[in-house]
Amino acid sequence: MNDALIANLRAQCGGPRDGALLRFSLGNALLTAGDATAAAGELRHAVGFDPSYSAAWKLLGKACLALDDKPGAAEAWRQGIAVAQARGDKQAEKEMTVFLKRLG
């Protein structure tokens, strides 16, 4: 199922539906499948499309952590916390703050 989902999402990249949500969905599917490297790349695309997408920042931090890139994870979560604060997304802010504290 996950391979089919990933293939379907990849097929849409570069097309008219390409954007933050598509790249976030693909990054999430890749991370679930254990491909943290590809997931991190797609999540970077997601925040490139929409830098205020706090969920993408949160997942990017998780992908970086899965790659043992603690500085990358910390930076993603810091960016995500700033975005969440600006948008009033208290839950995302709280979660990423906890992740960041656990990392340090």
Helices 20-32, 2-12: inter-axial angle, 10-degree rounding: 150
Domain hosting 83: range is 2-103
CB 63 within 8 A of CB 31: yes
Question: pTM of the prediction?
Answer: 0.95
Q: How far is CA 34 from the centre of its chain?
A: 14
Asked if the model's pLDDT at residue 1 lies above 70, the reply is no
CATH number reported for the structural domain that contains residue 63 in this entry: 1.25.40.10
pLDDT per residue over 51-69, tens digit each? 999 999 999 999 999 999 9
Asked if the model's pLDDT at residue 15 lies above 90, the reply is yes
Domain count, the chain: 1
CB 56 within 8 A of CB 76: no
Nearest to 38 by CA among 7, 14, 17, 16: 7
